[in-house]
Amino acid sequence: MDKDIVVRARVQLLSANRRVVRGTEGLRIYRLLTQVQPEVYGSKLAYVLVEASMSAQVLEMPEQRLALLDEAIAVASALDTANPYRDMVLGRALAARRELEERRTPEV
């Protein structure tokens, strides 16, 4: 991993002056930083992925929404069980995926 890219991403986080950077900028930053420090940034990535799955850009694209939620579940599941945010973000991602599946599956 290029150290300059990692430093640039960290500077962007600091300059954002927000607890969680959202949107495509947040996805880009957290995806990058999760590769370097998964326990530090993984829960934020999972949170932003779930949020992105509900955004207007993908609201009518169930496959893209499902891909974002599957990524969120994978990231959250990979966190150490001692991580204080693991259960929260994993539960949120699983609930969002379950809800999406229920909407996609016609009732009999």
Q: What is the pLDDT of residue 107?
A: 61
Q: What is the pLDDT of residues 48-92, one digit of tens each?
A: 999 999 999 998 899 999 999 999 999 999 999 999 999 999 999
pTM: 0.89
CA-to-CA distance for 27 and 32, rounded, in angstroms? 8
Q: What is the pLDDT of residue 2?
A: 86
Residue tagged 């991580």 (tokens): 83
Q: What is the pLDDT of residue 83?
A: 96
Query: What are the residue ranges spanned by the domains of the chain?
Result: 3-104
